[in-house]
Structure 1
Amino acid sequence: MSTHLITGAGSGIGAAVARRLHERGDDLVVLARDAGRAKEVAARYPGARTLVADLADPDKISWAFSHQSVPDRIDTLLHIAGVVDLGPVGELTPKAWHHQLNTNLIAPAELTRLLLPQLRITQGQVLFVNSGAGLSASPEWSAYAASKHGLKALADSLRAEEQGNGIRVTTVYPGRTASPMQAKVHAQEGREYDPGRWIDPESVATAILTAIDLPRDAAMNDVTVRPGR
Structure 2
Amino acid sequence: MGVHLITGAGSGIGAAVAGVLTERGEDLWLLARDEARAEELRSRFPGSRTLAADLAEPTTLAAALGKQELPERLDSLMHVAGTLEPGTVADLDPAVWQGMLAVNCVAPAELTRVVLPALRAAAGRVVFVNSGAGLHAPPGLGGYAASKFALRALAESLRAEEYRNGVRVTTVFPGEVDTPMQARLHGALGLPYDPDICLAAESVAAALVGVLDFPADGTLSELTIRPGC
TM-score by length of 1: 0.99
- Partners of 1:132 and 1:15 lie apart in 2 by 20
1:2 counterpart residue number: 2
Q: Hey, what does 1:161 align to over in structure 2?
A: 161
Please tell me whether residue 22 in structure 1 is matched to residue 22 in structure 2. Answer: yes
- Asked if 1:109 is matched to 2:109, the reply is yes
Partner residue in 1 for 2:75: 75
The aligned counterpart of 1:99 is 99
Q: How does 1:40-189 map to 2 (within 5 A)?
A: 40-189=40-189
Specify the alignment match of 2:199 in structure 1.
199
Q: Is the 8 A contact 2:79 2:108 kept in 1?
A: yes
Q: Deviations over 1:56-89 (max 9, x none)?
A: 0001001101211111121100000000001010
Q: What is the CA-CA distance between 1:192 and the residue it aligns to?
A: 2.1
TM-score, normalised relative to structure 2: 0.99
Structure 1 CA distance, aligned partners of 2:165 and 2:66?
Answer: 25
Question: What letter is aligned with 1:99?
Answer: G
Alpha-carbon deviation of 1:16?
0.5
Shifted more, 29-38 versus 183-192: the winner is 183-192
**Partner Cα separation in structure 2 for residue 170 and residue 27 of structure 1:** 21
Aligned residues: 229
The equivalent residue for 1:39 is 39
Q: Which amino acid aligns with 2:118?
A: Q
Q: Which amino acid aligns with 1:207?
A: A
Question: What is the SS of the residue equivalent to 1:126?
Answer: strand
Matches of 2:163 and 2:72, distance apart in 1: 21
- How much has 1:18 moved relative to structure 2? 0.4
Q: Deviations over 1:2-56 (max 9, x none)?
A: 0000000011110100000011000000000011100000000111000000000
| Ranges in structure 2 where 5+ consecutive residues have no aligned partner | none
* 1:169-196 Cα deviation digits (max 9, x unpaired): 0000000000001011101111122211
- 4+ runs deviating over 4 angstroms: none
Which shifted more, 119-128 or 185-194? 185-194
Structure 1: distance between partners of 2:163 and 2:62: 25
**RMSD of aligned C-alpha atoms?**
0.7
- What letter corresponds to residue 108 of structure 2 in structure 1? P
> For each residue in 1:129-184, what CA deviation from the matched residue of structure 2 results, as whole angstroms up to 9, or x when unmatched?
00000011011111100000000000000000010111110000000000001011
Tell me, what secondary structure is at the counterpart of 2:83?
A: coil
